[in-house]
Amino acid sequence: MKTIAVIGAGTMGNGIAHVFAQNGFQVHLIDIAQASLEKGLATITKNLDRMLAKTSISEKDKEETLGNISTYTDLKEGVSGTDLVVEAATENLTIKLKIFKDLDEVCDAKTILATNTSSISITQIAAATNRPDKVIGMHFMNPVPIMKLVEIIRGYSTSDMVTKTIMELSAKLGKTPTEVNDYPGFVANRILMPMINEAIETLYNGVAGVQEIDTVMKLGMAHPMGPLQLADFIGLDVCLSILNVMYDGFKNPKYAPCPLLVNMVMAGELGVKSGEGFYDYSESRKAERVSTQFN
């Protein structure tokens, strides 16, 4: 594999493009909006500058990485001649099904199609194509340039050869690929999201405040970040979407999202990206936002 297309220039997409480009792959970064592509490239440049300041890369490394990235707003042009397409669009089933249907029509028959979904069924996504054996999940962790894990999810029809190829490719990126099967939430979010949801329930029920809950989990359980702060960084809308996928998939009430989470998302308090969540990021990341709301 030499040429990789990445669909979506947002947080995950530009991170995935960064990692592939830094490891010598030619990357076609695709987004429907030119402004998003420019913002994505600016983020990659900023992250490379941080690495340069820490002397973990050289100026030449930075220039070569940026030189390996080309941008496109046209899907057909962007995926032309690519060996692998990694979709990193928003976590919405309807959008992903449309993208994969279109990809199946415009990509070479040999091209492997991967999705960075964190919860949606690979089998269902693959069913939108005529190449379900060549569809696989590559769930990168955020921030992509730093986090080592890639959750590799096999759909019902994903071939052994495609799985082996993607596992080996992920290792070439300096990541640790871990193969899992296709069930709602996979492994990472099947375990993480109920914990985050329970932390929100604990706040909702007035057991403790935001900082207190996070402090208990950081100091008592050796978590690097408390679950409420982590939810803010993931995006409360993303957490809600993943919980809904698991609730719909398993029909088990333990995955039902907390009413507080639902209300916060409806109110537009999505965490870091909106400036407000469980903490108030518009003033200070340490400012408490809702810790006493239910005390």
Is residue 151 part of the annotated active site? The answer reads yes
- What whole-number distance in Å separates Cα of residue 72 and Cα of residue 293? 46
**Quick check: is 291 catalytic?**
no
Residue 199 labelled as part of a binding site: no
Catalytic residue among 118, 121, 241, 274: 118
The residues near 281 (Cβ < 8 Å, ≥ 6 apart) are 232, 271, 272, 275
Q: Is 80 one of the catalytic residues? A: no
- Does 12 show up as a binding residue in the annotation? yes
Does 286 belong to an annotated binding site? no
* Active-site hit among 14, 139, 269, 291: 139
Query: Does the annotation list 273 as a binding residue?
Result: yes
Q: Does residue 139 have an active-site annotation?
A: yes
Q: Is 67 annotated as a binding residue?
A: no
- Residue 277 annotated as binding? no
Report whether 76 belongs to an annotated binding site: no
Instruction: Choose, from 68, 116, 119, 189, the residue flagged as catalytic.
Output: 189
Q: At what angle do helices 188-204 and 236-250 cross, to 10 degrees?
A: 110
8 is in an annotated binding site: yes
Any known ligand binding at 91? yes
- Quote the CA–CA distance of 194 and 189 in Å, as a whole number: 8
Q: Which of 14, 87, 119, 151 is catalytic?
A: 151
Long-range contact set of residues 19-22: C-beta below 8 Å, sequence gap at least 24:
19/140, 19/144, 19/145, 19/173, 19/174, 19/175, 20/68, 20/173, 21/65, 21/66, 21/68, 21/69, 22/48, 22/57, 22/61, 22/65, 22/68, 22/145
The residues annotated with a catalytic role in the active site are: 118, 139, 151, 189
Residue ranges of the annotated binding site for NAD(+) are 8-13, 31, 91, 96, 118, 142, 273
Q: Which residues are annotated as a binding site?
A: 8-13, 31, 91, 96, 118, 142, 273
